[in-house]
Amino acid sequence: MRIIKKRGFEENFDRNKLLTSIERAGVKNAELVLESVIKYLNGKEKVSSMDISNHVQLIMLNLVPEDIKYHEAVRNYLLWSIYKDVWGKERLYRENLSDLYRYGFKDWLDYGLKNNIFDKEKVKFYLEHIDELARYIRPERDLLLTYNSVRVLASRYLLKRIENLTFFEAPQYLFMRVAMGIAIAELNYGGDPIYWAKKFYDTLSELKFLPNSPTLFNALTISGVLSACFVIEISDCMTRLTHSGDVNCIFGIYDALLLTGILHQAGAGTGFSFTKLRPEGDVVKSTSGTASGPVSFMKLFDISTEVIKQGGRRRGAMMGILEVWHPDIEKFIQSKTGRLKDVNLQNFNISVMVPDMFMYSVVNDDDWYLINPRECQCLIESWGHEFNKCYKLCVEKVERGEISIWKRIKAKELFMKIVEAAWDSGDPGMLFKDAINIRHPLRHLGTIIATNPCAEVPLLPFESCNLGSINLSKFIINGKIDWNGLRETISIAVRFLDNVIDVNKLPQDTLIEANRRSRKIGLGVMGLAEVLTKLEIPYDSDDALYLSDKLAEWIAYNAVISSIELAKERGVFPSFKGSLWSEGKVIIDTWR
DSSP letter string, 23-61: HHTT-TTHHHHHHHHHHHHTT-SEEEHHHHHHHHHHHHH
What sign has the CA pseudo-torsion 455, 458, 464, 465? negative
Whether the full predicted model's pTM is greater than 0.75, yes or no, is yes
DSSP code, position 154: I
Tell whether the model's pLDDT for residue 381 goes beyond 90. yes
Tell whether the model's pLDDT for residue 492 goes beyond 80. yes
- What is the rounded average pLDDT for all residues in the chain? 93
Percent pLDDT > 90 in the chain is 80
Q: Is the Cβ–Cβ distance between 543 and 537 less than 8 Å?
A: yes
Task: Tell me how far apart the alpha carbons of residues 451 and 463 are, in angstroms, rounded to a whole number.
Answer: 10
Task: Tell me how far apart the alpha carbons of residues 282 and 122 are, in angstroms, rounded to a whole number.
Answer: 51
Confidence label for 309 from pLDDT (cuts 50, 70 and 90): low
Mention every residue, 6+ apart, whose C-beta is less than 8 A from residue 243.
237, 249, 252
Q: Is the Cβ–Cβ distance between 555 and 471 less than 8 Å?
A: no
505-509-510 Cα angle (round to 5)? 115
Note every long-range contact of 187-196, with CB atoms under 8 Å and residues 24 or more positions apart, other chains counting.
Answer: 187/125, 188/502, 189/569, 189/570, 193/125, 193/126, 194/126, 194/129, 194/132, 194/133, 196/495, 196/499
Closest CA to 464 of 232, 209, 215: 232
Closest CA to 325 of 383, 281, 240: 383
Tell whether the model's pLDDT for residue 180 goes beyond 70. yes
DSSP code, position 377: T
Task: Tell me what pLDDT residue 342 has.
Answer: 87
DSSP code, position 183: H
493-455-152 Cα angle (round to 5)? 60
Per-residue pLDDT of 295-308, as tens digits, reads 999 999 999 998 88
Q: How many CB atoms within 10 Å of residue 196?
A: 21
Active site residues: 452, 454, 456
DSSP code, position 279: P
Beta-sheet strands, E only, within 385-479: 407-410, 429-432, 450-451, 458-459, 464-465, 467-471, 476-477
Domains and their CATH numbers in the chain: 1-91 (no CATH), 229-451 (3.20.70.20), 466-591 (no CATH)
Q: Is the Cβ–Cβ distance between 350 and 320 less than 8 Å?
A: yes
Task: Tell me what pLDDT residue 288 has.
Answer: 64
Q: At 469, is the secondary structure helix, strand, or coil?
A: strand
Higher pLDDT: 2 or 168? It is 168
Closest CA to 97 of 136, 138, 129: 138
Prior bond to 428 cis, omega within 30?
yes
Confidence label for 47 from pLDDT (cuts 50, 70 and 90): confident
Phi, psi of 31 (to 5 degrees): -60, -40
Closest CA to 383 of 361, 358, 363, 403: 358
Tell whether the model's pLDDT for residue 442 goes beyond 90. yes
Task: Tell me what pLDDT residue 10 has.
Answer: 84
Which letter, b or e, does each residue of 289-312 get, where b requires 16 or more Cβ atoms within 10 Å of its Cβ? eebbbbbebbeebbebbeebebbe
Q: Is the Cβ–Cβ distance between 422 and 411 less than 8 Å?
A: no
CA 493 to chain CA mean position, Å:
16
Task: Tell me how far apart the alpha carbons of residues 97 and 91 are, in angstroms, rounded to a whole number.
Answer: 10
Confidence label for 45 from pLDDT (cuts 50, 70 and 90): confident
Tell whether the model's pLDDT for residue 405 goes beyond 60. yes
Task: Tell me what pLDDT residue 589 has.
Answer: 84
